[in-house]
Amino acid sequence: MAPQADQPNPNSERESTQAIRLSIDQIQCYSGNPWRQANPEYARIKASIRREGLDQPLVVTQKPGETGYLLQAGGNTRLQILKTLYQETSEERFFNIDCLFKPWEEESAVLLAHLRENELRGELHFIDKALAVFEAKRLFEVEQNIVSLSVRQLANLLRERGFPLNGAMISRMGYAVHRLLPLIPQALEAGLGRPQVEKLRALERVSTRLWTEKALGDEEEFSAIFATLCQRYDAPDWELESLRNALENEIADAAEEPLQTVRLTLGAMLSGREI
């Protein structure tokens, strides 16, 4: 069914949010939604919508030159449920729905709106949040014709757009996305959090230093060893201790030193104590 006659003009500049009635066939989920896991509340939300309808309208936008609408901030689960309920019941109330229309700005604005929505609900795994932040970085660079944003520039842009992150957090996210995700995808996608990522980063940094101080090889050689061991122990129930033990054994064998000596040295370095 076509929208009602009072639908807004999506191409008008800075038009305020307006009510609009659309069919679910006219609305698409946002493919860049940071939330990638199955919603554990799906059954409860479906039962609520079946019983009472939507508790709040979906927020939509429209890219210039397109006829369809896109979810602007959250709502992917609710839209999927509406489509399922209409297939199951053929009831018109699940097909034609009231929405709020917001004019198109930039794709980065849509991504950040979904990111803020998911962050408010506390649903995102650390790696999903990190991936979204670095996708926002890519979009900023395209939209503003910047070759490469620095961490400080990215932090400033995110803060201006209502998603403040400091440089240290962005750096941790970059480590998770660029270094760890290719090595331990199962652990990260199962919900490995920021504290564990920080410990992993510290472990790699300190064990690399110990490797080079003992003249066992260069940093590139140890980087390959670290990557191999990470991949070996990758699992949904990943544990830092298994990786640390393997690294200690690797260093002890290469240095021809007692394992306990290496373990004590590495532990002291991780805690910032002099040996």
Overall pTM > 0.95: no
Would you say residue 12 has pLDDT above 50?
no
Distance CA 269, CA 254 (A): 19
What mean pLDDT comes out for the span 34-46?
82
Q: What are the tens digits of pLDDT across the range 245-258? A: 999 999 999 999 99
Virtual torsion, Cα 17, 19, 24, 27, nearest 10 deg: -20
Distance CA 158, CA 118 (A): 16
Would you say residue 235 has pLDDT above 80?
yes
Contacts of residue 218, Cβ cutoff 8 Å, sequence gap at least 6: 212
What mean pLDDT comes out for the span 121-136?
89
Most confident of 5-14, 72-81, 86-95: 86-95
The mean-pLDDT minimum among 32-36, 63-67, 259-263 falls in 32-36
Sequence letter at residue 34: P
What mean pLDDT comes out for the span 160-172?
94
Q: What are the tens digits of pLDDT across the range 206-217? A: 999 999 999 999
Q: Looking at residue 274, what is its pLDDT?
A: 56
Name 100's bridge partners: 19, 59
Name 19's bridge partners: 100
Q: Looking at residue 156, what is its pLDDT?
A: 95
Q: Looking at residue 39, what is its pLDDT?
A: 76
